[in-house]
């Protein structure tokens, strides 16, 4: 059966079956590490009920040594590692693109993102133990046991892959814990992949098999879905050959407090949010209260050397009575910033919505 675990009583639910839900933005912004209870859930099918003691992940394909690993085997045979990393849906902020023109998919606000402490074993160590082939042009596929509902295709087990170069980096984990607790069923218990810096889709939950192969996965999620299409392509005309596989996520930022539509008291108001540039530093965050005609710089909060995390920022503005459009845009260490309007990045699947985040508020 579907349903929110008792730990998640009050997320905003976009769909019950499959379960898709995100936290209100003020709660999202309340901790640099997102509480599991406030962490968005994105599923494509059922939530499998697997036994933590007996479930085995198979390691197959171009390996010298096939492995079958339970959580206990992983703990005993390898050295655990904890990585603090953002998980972010490729559809985060899709609602803004839907203002431009209809897209497929759920209307996510900026809450399809969270930053957690993931504990597991580096995929690199597992591949080494399996004596896996190492070529840079290889791919590592993840087959999961949930049955995904695929639009325009048969239901089938969820599957994705990542390039071998990423798989061999130490940051990719086969994880059994989130924020120091065993994974909840909705986050992939007992074992999931965590791919820091990549769209959440690559971080397969409920993983059953890890496979080294020559080509990317031919599963629906990898081959047909989660592609960035040009703006002239539509649902009826879609051609996967013209799509770009979404791996790394673009520069993005969002205002979390106040929330869109808020009624505020005129005067000093604190504005808070997040920014993220995948593997680059956020160097500047600009906030405007007149739709982007004038900008001021927000304070970037120091969270040490958290390479795969997001960046929190805040500022206080003096807001006169009336209606205002509050806007944020971030800059990264390569001097790049975000597009001004969602029209510039519209695509029919509603992915990578990363234009300036704008919210309307009223001060009285």
Ligand X SMILES: Nc1nc2c(c(=O)[nH]1)N[C@H]1C(S)=C(S)[C@@H](COP(=O)(O)O)O[C@H]1N2
158 binds ligand X, rule: CB under 6 A: yes
Interface residue with ligand X, options 98, 179, 203, 245 (CB under 6 A): 203
Residue 192 vs 358, nearer CB to ligand X: 192
Judged by beta carbon distances under 5 to 8 A according to partner kind, the member of ligand X, Mo ion, none in contact with residue 204 is ligand X
219 binds ligand X, rule: CB under 6 A: no
Residues 26 and 254: their CA atoms lie apart, in Å, by 11
274 binds ligand X, rule: CB under 6 A: no
Residue 86 vs 363, nearer CB to ligand X: 86
Question: Which range in 33-41, 228-236, 321-329, 341-349 contacts ligand X by CB under 6 A?
Answer: 33-41
Interface residue with ligand X, options 11, 25, 41, 210 (CB under 6 A): 41
Alpha helices in 226-352 (DSSP H): none
Distant-in-sequence, close-in-space partners of 129: CB < 8 Å, separation ≥ 6: 65, 67, 77, 78
Confirm if 113 and 88 have CB atoms less than 8 A apart: yes
The sign one gets for the Cα dihedral 165, 303, 336, 347 is positive
Interacting residues toward Mo ion by CB under 5 A: 42, 89, 200-201
**Separation of CA 40 from chain center:** 9
Confirm if 345 and 248 have CB atoms less than 8 A apart: no
220 binds ligand X, rule: CB under 6 A: no
Confirm if 185 and 192 have CB atoms less than 8 A apart: no
Judged by beta carbon distances under 5 to 8 A according to partner kind, the member of ligand X, Mo ion, none in contact with residue 139 is none
70 binds ligand X, rule: CB under 6 A: no
**Separation of CA 323 from chain center:** 32
Which has the closest alpha carbon to 250: 296, 273, 282? Answer: 282
327 binds ligand X, rule: CB under 6 A: no
Residue 61 vs 200, nearer CB to Mo ion: 200
Residues 338 and 67: their CA atoms lie apart, in Å, by 44
Residues 85 to 144 in contact with ligand X, rule: CB under 6 A: 87, 89, 144
44 binds ligand X, rule: CB under 6 A: yes
Interface residue with ligand X, options 8, 14, 29, 42 (CB under 6 A): 42
Judged by beta carbon distances under 5 to 8 A according to partner kind, the member of ligand X, Mo ion, none in contact with residue 41 is ligand X
Buried b (16+ CB within 10 A) or exposed e, 183-197: bbebbbbbbbbbbbb
Residues 17 and 30: their CA atoms lie apart, in Å, by 28
Residue 184 vs 337, nearer CB to ligand X: 184
Question: Which range in 128-136, 198-206, 321-329, 332-340 contacts ligand X by CB under 6 A?
Answer: 198-206
Q: Both ends of the chain: CA-CA distance in Å?
A: 46
201 binds ligand X, rule: CB under 6 A: yes
Interface residues with ligand X (CB under 6 A) are 39-44, 87, 89, 144, 146, 158, 187, 200-201, 203-206
């Amino acid at each position: 059966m579907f349903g929110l675990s008792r730990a998640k009583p009050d997320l905003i639910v976009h769909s019950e079956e499959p379960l898709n839900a995100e936290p209100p933005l003020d709660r999202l912004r309340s901790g640099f590490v997102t509480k599991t209870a406030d962490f968005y859930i994105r599923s494509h099918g059922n939530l499998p009920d697997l036994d933590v003691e007996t479930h085995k992940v198979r390691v197959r394909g171009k390996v010298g040594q096939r492995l079958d690993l339970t959580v206990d085997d992983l703990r005993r045979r390898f050295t655990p590692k904890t990585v603090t990393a953002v998980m972010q849906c490729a559809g985060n902020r899709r609602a803004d693109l839907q203002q431009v023109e209809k897209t497929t998919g759920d209307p996510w606000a900026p809450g399809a993102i969270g930053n957690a402490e993931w504990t597991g074993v580096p995929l690199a160590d597992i591949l080494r133990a399996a004596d896996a082939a190492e070529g840079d042009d290889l791919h590592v596929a993840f087959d999961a046991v949930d049955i995904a509902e695929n639009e325009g295709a048969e239901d089938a087990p969820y599957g994705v892959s990542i390039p071998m170069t990423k798989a061999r980096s130490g940051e990719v984990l086969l994880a059994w814990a989130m924020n120091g607790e065993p994974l909840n069923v909705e986050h992939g218990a007992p074992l999931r992949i965590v791919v820091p810096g990549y769209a959440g889709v690559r971080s397969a939950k409920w993983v059953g098999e890890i496979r080294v192969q020559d080509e990317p996965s031919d599963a629906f999620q990898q081959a047909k879905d989660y592609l960035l299409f040009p703006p002239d392509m539509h649902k009826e005309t879609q051609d996967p050959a013209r799509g770009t596989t979404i791996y790394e996520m673009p520069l993005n930022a969002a205002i979390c407090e106040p929330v869109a539509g808020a009624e505020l008291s005129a005067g000093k108001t604190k504005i808070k949010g997040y920014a993220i540039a995948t593997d680059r530093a956020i160097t500047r965050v600009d906030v405007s209260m007149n739709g982007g005609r004038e900008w001021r710089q927000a304070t970037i909060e120091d969270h040490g050397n958290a390479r795969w995390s997001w960046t929190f920022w805040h500022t206080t503005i003096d807001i006169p009575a009336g209606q205002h459009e509050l806007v944020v845009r971030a800059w990264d260490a390569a001097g790049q910033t975000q597009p001004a309007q969602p029209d510039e990045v519209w695509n029919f699947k509603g992915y990578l919505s990363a234009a300036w985040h704008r919210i309307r508020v009223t001060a009285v």
